[in-house]
A and B are shown apart, each in its own frame.
Chain A
Amino acid sequence: MKSKIKNIIISIGFVIFIFGYLIIGIIQPDSEISFSERRKLNKFPEISWESLISGDFFENFEKYAPDHAPFREEFRTIKALSHFYLFNQKDNNGIFIINGNALKILYPLREKSVTEAGEKLNEVYSAYLTGMKVYYTVIPDKNTYAAEKYNYPVIDFNRCVELLGNAVSDMQYIDLLDCLAADDFYKTDPHWSQVNLEKTVLRLSEIMDFKVPDIKTYTVNRLYPFYGAYYGQSALPLAPDELLYLTNDTIRNATAYDPVSDTSFPIYNTEKFGGIDSYEVFLNGGLPLIEITNNNADTEKELILFRDSSGSSLAPLLIDGYKKITLIDLRYISANLIGRFVDFKDQDVLFMYNIAVLNNNKMLK
Chain B
Amino acid sequence: MVFSSVSFLFYFLPAILLFYFAVPSKFKNVVLLVFSLLFYYYGEQLYVLILLFSSVLDYTCSLLIERYRGTKKAKAFLIISITANLAMLGFFKYFDFFISSVNALSGISLPLLKVALPIGISFFTFQTMSYTIDVYRGEVRAQKNFLTLFTYVSLFPQLIAGPIVRYKTVERELNGRTHSFDMFGEGVSRFITGLAKKVLLSNQLGALVVSFRSATEKTILFYWIYAAAFTLQIYFDFSGYSDMAIGLGKIFGFTFLENFNYPFISKSITEFWRRWHISLGSWFKDYVYIPLGGSRTGFKKWLRTTLVIWALTGLWHGADWPFVAWGLFVAVFIILEKTILLKAFQKLPGIAARIYFIAIILFSMVIFNGNGITGSFDDIVSMLGFTGLKFINSDTVYYLSSNALLLVISVIASTPLFANIFARIKLKSCGIKILDIAQPVSCLVLLVLSVSYLIDGSFNPFLYFRF
Contact = CB atoms under 8 A, between A and B. Distances in A.
Contacts of B452: 75-76, 78-79, 82
Contacts of A1: 433, 436-437
Interface stretch (A12-20, A187-195, A218-226): A12-20
B45 A55 contact: yes
Given A3-B432, A10-B439, A88-B404, A76 B7 contact: no
Given A61-B7, A151-B394, A8 B451 contact: no
Contact of A89 (B403, B432, B439): B403
Given A22-B14, A75-B455, A109-B216, A90 B182 contact: no
Contacts of B185: 6-11
B10 A25 contact: yes
B181 A13 contact: no
A153 B444 CA distance: 36
B42 interface: yes
B457 to A, nearest CB: 6
A120 B161 CA distance: 46
A11 to B, nearest CB: 4
B453 A4 contact: no
Interface in B179-197: 181-182, 184-186, 188-189, 192
A126 to B, nearest CB: 31
Interface stretch (A62-70, A236-244, A341-349): A62-70
Q: How large is the interface on A (under 10, 10 to 19, 20 to 34, 35 or more residues)?
A: 35 or more
A49 interface: no
Interface in B379-416: 394-395, 397-398, 401-406, 409
Chain B contact residues: helix, strand, loop or mixed: helix
Interface string B445-466: 0011101111111100000000
A54 B41 CA distance: 10
A75 B436 contact: no
Given A11-B181, A90-B401, A151-B398, A19 B14 contact: yes
Nearest to B438: A6
Contact of B455 (A53, A76, A152): A76
A62 B7 contact: yes
Contacts of A72: 455
Given A82-B452, A93-B456, A10 B443 contact: yes
Contact of B42 (A17, A58, A66, A86): A58
A332 to B, nearest CB: 26
A6 B439 contact: yes
Contacts of A108: 214-217
A78 B452 CA distance: 6
A159 to B, nearest CB: 10
Nearest to A69: B455
Nearest to B453: A79
Nearest to B409: A87
Interface string B427-441: 000001100110110
A61 B12 CA distance: 12
A216 interface: no
B367 to A, nearest CB: 25
Chain A contact residues: helix, strand, loop or mixed: helix
A2 interface: yes
B13 interface: yes
Interface in A27-79: 53-55, 58, 61-62, 65-66, 69, 72, 75-76, 78-79
A30 to B, nearest CB: 14
B5 interface: yes
Contacts of B409: 87
Contact of B10 (A7, A22, A79, A93): A22
Nearest to B455: A75
A19 B456 CA distance: 21
A279 to B, nearest CB: 24
A235 interface: yes
Contacts of A258: none
A21 B444 CA distance: 14
A91 interface: yes
A89 B217 CA distance: 21
B279 to A, nearest CB: 26
A290 B443 CA distance: 56
Q: Which of B17, B397, B440, B443 has the most CB of A within 10 A?
A: B440
A65 B182 CA distance: 31
A260 interface: no
B453 to A, nearest CB: 5
Contacts of B440: 6, 9-10, 13
A25 B9 CA distance: 12
B181 A65 contact: no
A5 interface: yes
A18 B10 contact: yes
Nearest to A12: B181
Contacts of B439: 6, 10
Given A1-B436, A7-B185, 19 more contacts: A1-B437, A4-B182, A7-B181, A9-B440, A10-B188, A14-B192, A65-B6, A66-B5, A66-B457, A69-B6, A75-B448, A75-B451, A78-B449, A79-B455, A88-B402, A88-B405, A89-B405, A109-B216, A153-B395
Closest 6 CB pairs of A and B: A7-B185, A90-B402, A79-B452, A78-B452, A108-B216, A75-B452
29 contacts: A2-B436, A3-B182, A6-B439, A6-B440, A7-B184, A7-B186, A10-B185, A10-B443, A11-B188, A15-B17, A18-B10, A18-B17, A22-B11, A55-B45, A58-B43, A65-B6, A66-B455, A69-B10, A75-B448, A75-B455, A76-B452, A79-B452, A86-B449, A88-B406, A89-B204, A93-B456, A108-B214, A152-B398, A153-B395
